Amino acid sequence: MKFNKLAASTITSIVLLGSIGQLAVNAQPARANHPSISFELARKSRVSKSLLASGSFVKAEKATTGKAKIVSINGKRYLEFNKAFRTGNGPDVKVILHKNSSVPLNIREGNYITLARIKSFSGKQRYEIPSNVNLEDYKSVGIWCEQFNATFGYASLRDA
């Protein structure tokens, strides 16, 4: 029991002496940097984002609203939907790029590529566009139900 008290007393002394030494070393007044400015500058210098194309969704089979845009971020391309994006629910719904500026209700193989299964039927979302896709070949983005070959809605893409 005496050993525990002695050890605690010694540790307390070391901590206190260490703190006093620290105070002497840091006797200079501290200068505060504005962290948000440094963070903002660092963030802006690392992210290079440019708008390549955009368009607004229109109804085909189901009410579809919001905006789509294709952006380039640090050399990668993405299809983005804004937070106002909404479409109807359905099974097996995909996000596609279509060769025509309007997407027909029923699409044919060879006129589109599938980017991914839809992440959400509403709200902001992003899909990576593979680097081997030539965007010059595609004029619109579609929300398409593969099971019933039904286009819910689409957005014609105009160059930025």
The answer as to whether 108 is a domain residue is yes
Q: How many domains does the chain have?
A: 1
**pTM of whole model > 0.75?**
no
Q: Phi first, then psi: what are they for 116, rounded to 5°?
A: -175, 165
The whole-number pLDDT of residue 103 equals 97
99 found inside a domain: yes
| pLDDT of residue 107 exceeding 90 | yes
Among the residue ranges 28-37, 61-70, 84-93, the one predicted with the least confidence is 28-37
The pLDDT assigned to 7 comes to 47
Rg (CA), the chain: 28
Let me know if residue 82 belongs to a domain: yes
User: How many Å apart are CA 51 and CA 113, to the nearest integer?
Assistant: 21
C-alpha–C-alpha distance, residues 113 and 111, integer Å: 7
Residue 10 lies in a domain: no
Domain contains 34: no
Cross-strand pairs, 141: 97, 155
Asked whether residue 38 is domain-assigned, the answer is: no
Residue 25, in any domain of the structure: no
- Asked whether residue 31 carries a pLDDT value surpassing 90, the answer given is no
Residue 29 lies in a domain: no
- Percentage of residues in the chain with pLDDT exceeding 70? 71
Name the residue range of residue 111's domain.
Answer: 48-159
Rounded alpha-carbon distances, angstroms, from residue 11 to 1, 36, 75, 108: 16, 39, 55, 78
- Bridge partners (DSSP) listed for residue 121: none
Mean pLDDT of 9-13: 45
Burial of residue 2, with CB atoms counted within 10 A of its CB: 0-12 exposed, 13-18 middle, 19 or more buried = exposed
